[in-house]
A and B are shown apart, each in its own frame.
Chain A
Amino acid sequence: MSYIIDRRLNAKKKSTVNRQRFLRRYKQHIKRAVEEAIHDRSISDIERGGEVTIPRRDISEPVFHHGKGGKNTRIYPGNKEFVTGDEFQRPEGGGGGGAGQGKASNQGEGEDNFTFSISQEEFLDFMFEDLELPYLVRKQLKDATSFETRRAGFSTSGSPEKLHIVRSLRAAHARRIALGREDRKEIRELRKQLWALEALPTGEVSQEEMQALRDKIAELDKKARRLPFIDDFDLRYNNLIRVPVPSSKAVMFCVMDVSGSMTQTIKDIAKRFFILLYLFLERNYKQIELVFVRHHTHAKEVDEQEFFYSRETGGTIVSSALQLTADIIDARYSPADWNIYVAQASDGDNWDGDSATCSDLLMKRILKKVQYFAYVEITTGPHQNLWYEYEHVHQAFPDEFSMQHITDASEIYPVFRKLFEKRTEGAA
């Protein structure tokens, strides 16, 4: 009478299409939420996916319904002390009259918010969409120090435990077909002749002729059967190769100018840039440490919160930050164990006499130890002496040092891309 069916293995994501439709429809809202998240969230936490909140009235589906007013009688349960004829004030907040259409609807036009989460991947999609980037391309970085074994097709030699049976048998089969081809062709011909003879009335053909044909067929058949079923030549082995994997530890230095000339917009752009770099590194390394160094006339190692949000004013001496970075590297991050990345963001302002010191520090103390040093200058104005000084550094260390110029948020990703282009191509 009853059928019991196990549906648990059926397609789970039946609602995916509908969910996608929903996301598509509210793209603008979600983008806004993602932008806010990029702004508010801590760097290392940005990739997590997240909650998106949309005002409920924006997504409600309107229907005709009764408004407030008119005469309305409602029945309530749980009377305690009321008797017929009691009168009292309307409760505040509309709890009385209009409410109570059976169960509270979640599609009413309440002013609360509609919150839902999107996955990490969707989050990144929305985040990079802004930068016109659908997916981050995953690429190897050079200077890998460890290896892992991976499958890489099949080879004709190898140890017995790597034997690939299906492939081997397939090769054997192919060989048997190829080698037996001529013989089989002949057998087919002879058979045809034989049938032709057999079709004739008995008196007209000589039995000897037919017997000769039969013998010939039998001989050829025997020959074809002598082909070995499997030969050494057929054997195929799983081929394993060793691929370099990047060292699993990396440290990323975020160096930023926080002097008076750095506005919140510039800092925002810088932050996005740091995030991108972090995401990129995270895809290549298992463990990443972040070091935040900010500076005006003095440099200081700070935590993330302070790095992005504290307000400072004052002059700018970039070398102080580089000095500190070099010190930290020496003290804590030995280049033998760590992949070191430095990203520096600034509006290009520097005290005139300092720029030479900067290039000196870079060339002597930093660039030899780091994987990569990326400098972004976020400014709409003309370049100042720091930029020109750095150009010399770039010429001296074209592999380790690169610099780019950003004028507004839309350029972050292209610039980021440019910064990493050469390096990834070199490794690929």
Chain B
Amino acid sequence: MSATKKRKPISTGSEWTFDLIEDYDREIGRVAKNFGLDTYPNQIEVITSEQMMDAYASIGMPLNYSHWSFGKQFVDTEQNYKRGRMGLAYEIVINSNPCIAYLMEENTITMQALVIAHACYGHNSFFKGNYLFQTWTDASAIIDYLLFAKNYISQCEERYGVDEVEQLLDSCHALMNYGVNRYKRPRPLTAAEERERQMAREEYIQRHLNDLWNTIPRKEVSEEAMVVRYPKEPEENLLYFIEKNAPLLEPWQREVIRIVRKIAQYFYPQKQTQVMNEGWATFWHYTLLHQLYDEGLVTDGFMMEFLHSHSSVIYQPPFDSPYFSGINPYTLGFHMMSDIRRICEKPTDEDREWFPDIAGSNWIETLDKAMRNYKDESFIMQFLSPRLMRELRLFAILDDAERPTLRVDAIHDEMGYRRLREELSAQYNLGNREPNIQVYNVNVRGDRSLTLRHYMHNGQPLGDTTDEVLKHVHRLWGFDVLLESVTPKNEVIHAYHCPPRESTIELA
């Protein structure tokens, strides 16, 4: 060890050059490999701040179809950046193979190294290893698919007009969160297959317009058939259901819906693993750069600058601070990852009691296992330790609309640990965060109206934009749309209609 300790630092100044970036990448890559990080090949792209804003605006992707909402995002980012209200993120990293990471030219070499460690080895290995990304996304196909989507949509714009396409996309975006399959998963397709399939689908739909709307009278119309709902089981993927069943849509419109749905599906794992993903990447940039420091490859000045930005990234303002805007996923993730390492390396009695299976185990293996097999919700449920709850001084507030006051439900003490952990885990359950809305029924034999059901969680009603969203559903579906809020006891307590109906009419 002492032999390597005397090595010469890679750089001493703050300016970066391509050679230096290469050197750092090589060293960080070497160290990462020693820690067993398994990554896609990296494609590191140096860009300007303007290009970074471009990337921001198209949801971080290197290319995307055109839509005004991306323009809005861009204009907003630009304005905030120019006024110095926000800095740009140091990096954007794309879950693709090779894994694309952007470095901004304005940054110092320290920051570039930090980003390389964070994105190219942290996030990259997470993308490659985590089960959600493995099952839900296809890193090798995404760029091709986006290219296909961009071209397809611009063709549609030429053929059917920008306004027409824009309206359709607006409606799809409104339902984007409901365009994912949460449970089942189709086999991934390559872009070429995707194109072929698209042609085939178009043709098929042209020829056999859905059975659902078949006007040829059925042979038997029994009383029983009248009661059968369509779909038989509620469908969680609204966009999918609309794509396959909306009576009036043109083939190209179905394809556009499909594109939005696919992209939503691609981003779904990122939403579910925010804490883990950022925690993992932050933990590894911290660990990797410290390793370089231990080997004498970086200077003290480098470490000072790195630690400064590291600690501002993981700063968690307390709940009463004006800067508080929820729990910082970087803080929580980083601390949990470090905490797991601590439990493995220096377990206390408490840890042995709470985590008998990992206390004292090999930390690299344990972390790797955690990274691969969990999402935020289960990760927190499994690994949040009492010690960390004490350190972050977590507490739970119960806000019950039926009571006049807020109540402190649990704090970081013996009584509260389990409850805190459950609640925090539930907080990261997407199923709780977004209202659970599913397709309940289509009036197949009558006015073709679509009934959605909102299965209420903890008695929370829908927000005030519900009617607006329903207009979008109505645009896609083409016939009346009904949305019912249902309590766990199966009582309908609120119904929304689009187009609006007399509220007194009870549901059939």
Contacts and interface: CB of A to CB of B under 8 A. Distances in A.
Contacts of B46: 4-8
Nearest to B467: A62
A84 B416 contact: yes
B427 A5 contact: no
Interface residues of A, number: 68
Contacts of A335: none
Nearest to B428: A102
Contacts, number: 276
A314 interface: no
A96 B329 CA distance: 19
A206 interface: no
Nearest to B321: A78
Contacts of A1: 29, 41-42
A310 to B, nearest CB: 34
Interface stretch (B89-97, B336-344, B391-399): B391-399
A138 B314 CA distance: 56
Contact of A84 (B67, B394, B413, B463): B413
A106 interface: yes
Contacts of B412: 79
A79 B390 CA distance: 9
Contact of B463 (A20, A64, A85, A89): A64
A82 interface: yes
A237 to B, nearest CB: 42
A5 B45 contact: yes
A17 B162 CA distance: 12
Interface string A96-115: 11111111101001000011
A18 B53 CA distance: 12
A64 B436 CA distance: 9
Interface in B409-445: 409-413, 415-416, 420, 423-424, 426-427, 433-435, 437
Interface string A266-291: 00000000000000000000000000
Given A84-B411, A90-B399, A65 B435 contact: yes
B71 A19 contact: yes
Contacts of B317: 78
B435 to A, nearest CB: 5
Interface residues of B, number: 103
Question: At the interface, is chain B mostly helix, strand, loop or mixed?
Answer: mixed
Interface in A299-355: none
A101 B47 CA distance: 31
Interface string B161-179: 0100010001001101110
A77 B21 contact: no
A116 B78 contact: yes
A68 B97 CA distance: 42
A67 B400 CA distance: 13
Nearest to A71: B458
B372 to A, nearest CB: 22
Given A15-B53, A67-B462, A82-B408, A77 B29 contact: no
Interface in A1-36: 1-8, 10, 12-15, 17-25
A340 to B, nearest CB: 39
Nearest to B409: A73
Interface in A35-70: 59-70
B312 interface: no
Interface string B122-134: 0000000000000
Interface string B321-347: 100011101010000000000000000
B205 interface: no
Nearest to A15: B74
B72 interface: yes
Contacts of B396: 73-76
Contact of A64 (B316, B394, B469): B469
Interface in B375-402: 392-401
8 contacts: A67-B462, A67-B463, A71-B458, A77-B393, A79-B393, A102-B326, A115-B79, A117-B78
Question: What 7 A-B pairs have minimum CB-CB distances, sorted nearest first?
Answer: A78-B318, A22-B71, A70-B460, A18-B71, A70-B459, A97-B399, A62-B465
Given A22-B75, A71-B400, 4 more contacts: A1-B42, A5-B45, A65-B463, A84-B413
